[in-house]
């Protein structure tokens, strides 16, 4: 006889999985670059390059799509948001000015809004589109 996990655990697993994948993606794309670049005019940029942030976003599209297309809407949104928020907090918390909290809050609100909108689009698109197995 096959035993199934209780419903709360089954709903929590995608959230935890997405948070873990998000933390790993942050570490892979942004975690290693901590140096600010000084331009010839004396201004500083960084520590992240545009291509790193784009790579992180594109990498996270796949797990968000996976979770949202399987109706784990809450897991897709909260897992990704929690992962990015924790990663940003850990990465930026050595800032002595304390302003990193504002940046972490912006990451949290931005990722919450974007993943909620993207997951909603995915769920509605999957509902509108008949599955390929049903048409064959």
Bridge-partner residues for 38, per DSSP? 44
Q: What is the pLDDT of residue 136?
A: 47
Q: What is the pLDDT of residue 130?
A: 64
pLDDT 10s digits, 49-104: 899 999 999 999 999 999 999 988 999 999 999 999 999 999 999 888 889 999 99
pLDDT 10s digits, 16-62: 999 999 999 999 999 887 788 888 888 887 788 899 999 999 999 99
pTM here? 0.84
51: tokens are: 């291509």
80 burial via Cβ count (<10 Å: 0-12, 13-18, 19+): buried
Whether the pLDDT of residue 11 is over 50: the answer is yes
pLDDT 10s digits, 103-131: 999 999 999 999 999 999 999 988 776 65
**pLDDT band for position 1 (cuts 50, 70, 90):** low
DSSP H or E segment with residue 73: helix 73-92
Q: What is the pLDDT of residue 103?
A: 94
Q: What is the pLDDT of residue 105?
A: 97
What is the rounded distance in angstroms from the CA atom of residue 105 to the CA atom of residue 54? 20
């Amino acid at each position: 006889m096959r035993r199934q996990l209780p419903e709360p655990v089954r709903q929590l697993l995608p959230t935890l999985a997405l948070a873990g994948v998000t933390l790993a993606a942050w570490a892979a794309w942004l975690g290693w670059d901590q140096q600010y670049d000084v331009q010839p005019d004396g201004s500083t940029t960084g520590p992240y390059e545009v291509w790193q942030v784009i790579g992180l976003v594109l990498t996270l599209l796949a797990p968000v799509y996976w979770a949202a297309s399987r109706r784990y809407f809450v897991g897709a949104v909260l897992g990704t948001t929690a992962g990015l928020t924790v990663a940003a907090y850990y990465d930026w918390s050595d800032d002595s000015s304390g302003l990193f909290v504002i940046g972490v809050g912006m990451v949290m609100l931005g990722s919450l809004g974007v993943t909620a909108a993207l997951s909603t689009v995915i769920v509605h698109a999957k509902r509108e589109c008949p599955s390929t197995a049903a048409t064959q």
